[in-house]
Structure 1
């Protein structure tokens, strides 16, 4: 899957009492891009206590932590309400910017 697909389909993932979803992605030229390779990992709460670098090394070498799904979903829902983010690509670009510089 690519990062833009993971972002656009974020509402398909439901955290439970036993686990949460996080996105890990590969950087292209040092940056996350809409077409970066991405994985959505279902992590136990014990795994969530680990450092994201340790999770990446164990479960998806070569990938970097992007965002926890619940954070992404909240931000995505807010963007849906704003006129300037009516297209998927605008929302994807804004979320990538948030993950890189604001999270």
Structure 2
């Protein structure tokens, strides 16, 4: 799967008390890009207390933590209200920027 697909389909993931969905992705030339290889891991609350880099080493070597789905969903909802981010391309670009520099 690629990062843009996960971002645009973020509403398909529902966290529970036992499972927290988190996105891990590979960087291309040092950056997260819309076409970066990505996956969503279902993590327990106990795993979320571990260092996320350690989780990546164990569960998905070569990937890095990107964002938790619930954070992405909240941010995505906010973007839907802003005219500048009506296109999928703009939403994906803004969320990647947020994950890299603001989260």
Partner SS state of residue 62, structure 1: coil
After TM superposition, the runs of 4+ consecutive aligned structure 1 residues lying more than 3 A away are: none
Q: What TM-score, normalized by structure 1, do the two folds share?
A: 0.99
The 5-angstrom pairing of residues 1-103 of structure 1 reads 1-103=1-103
TM-score by length of 2: 0.99
RMSD, aligned CA:
0.4
2-structure distance, mates of 1:17, 1:30:
34
CA distance in structure 1 between the aligned counterparts of 2:17 and 2:66, rounded to whole angstroms? 22
Equivalenced residue count is 103
Per-residue deviation at 1:17?
Answer: 1.0
d(CA) in 2 for partners of 1:17 and 1:26? 28
SS of the residue corresponding to residue 78 of structure 2 reads helix
In structure 1, runs of 5+ residues without a counterpart are none
